[in-house]
Amino acid sequence: MELICFDSRMRAIVANWINVEDRRFEAPSAGDLATEYLVKPKKEHKPEQAMVGDAEAKMAEVLRVYKGQLTKHKYIAMDKYTIADVPRLPDLKNSINTSSSSSRFFVR
């Protein structure tokens, strides 16, 4: 496993996807979904469906981009695991630990 690429072309591809992560996926919609599906149930509050619907719509667009990329490569940036894949690990863990409705959204 080579998390950091030493080839300049590969390094640029990885850097681009890290940039995409920073600008697109870590948007408020990801935080909103985490709050609604993870935090509120622990405090015995129900998720606000309007907030969930809005956040899911925003996330769906981002997930379409990822799905397109993953049809071309085994991992997000290329066919080997790189540092560009690391930011998704907490989201995967959280999706496994959430209710069935939120898990269905993340599993798409």
d(CA 87, CA 36): 20
Report which of residues 68 and 105 the model is more confident about: 68
pLDDT at position 61 is: 81
pLDDT at position 74 is: 93
pLDDT at position 27 is: 57
DSSP for 48-94 reads -HHHHHHHHHHHHHHHHHHHHHHHH-SSSSSSS--GGGGGGHHHHHH
Which tens digits make up the pLDDT trace of 5-23?
Answer: 778 998 999 998 888 877 7
Q: Which helix (H) or strand (E) holds 27?
A: none
d(CA 105, CA 59): 9
* Cα 51–chain centre separation: 18
Which tens digits make up the pLDDT trace of 29-73?
Answer: 777 888 888 888 889 998 888 988 888 888 788 778 888 989 999
Domain architecture of the chain: domains with CATH: 8-107 (1.20.1050.10)
